Amino acid sequence: MEVEVKFKLKPGVEEKIMEIAEFLEEKEEFDVYFNHPCRDFAKTDEALRIRLEKKVKLTYKGPKVDSETKSREEVNVEVSGFEETLKLLEFLGFRKFRSVKKHRKIYKKGNAMICVDSVEGLGEYVEIEVEGGLQNKDEIFRIAEILGYSKKESIRLSYLEMLEKIKAGSIEPK
């Protein structure tokens, strides 16, 4: 299970992250999201995506399981080719829904990953993630507090959901 929270990046936070965490890597990620041929993932709070980065990963995300975080079951499968996997999903009836492009800096603090993301069309965010179960969410909020965030500032929407809300006009971009 993926246990994660997201916050809008505030001035000075990235410097705090560099003080408390080890820098791992910087990379570009390009995600293509799909909708199921028989059910609407937006209504079921699920996601299916293919991610192009150093490797190609196909990911299924189940519905969120709590009210404070973006925690959900997640299944990742490494695949050999981006274009071939796109074709396979389309042949099976899945429809391309939207793409998300981001620049990501990844840091590690203990068993937590801290990502500073610059998302095309959205702006800059911080994600804090731990593996395991919901019992680990206190660790996420402890790190968030060190960085100057409170629980009430947590954003439960995914980048995909945020982009859709901008498209629908229910939130303002950047």
Map tokens 């980048």 to a residue. Answer: 159
CA–CA separation, 22 and 113 (whole Å): 10
Amino acid at 117: D
Asked if 33 is an active-site residue, the reply is: yes
Choosing from 33, 107, 125, 149, the catalytic residue is 33
Show the beta-strand stretches assigned E in 36-88: 47-52, 56-61, 74-79
Largest Cα–Cα distance of the chain, in whole Å? 48
Helix (H) or strand (E) holding 159, with range, is: helix 159-168
Helix (H, G, I), strand (E, B) or coil at 65: coil
Residue pair 45/28 in contact by the 8 Å Cβ criterion: no
* Residues identified as active-site: 33
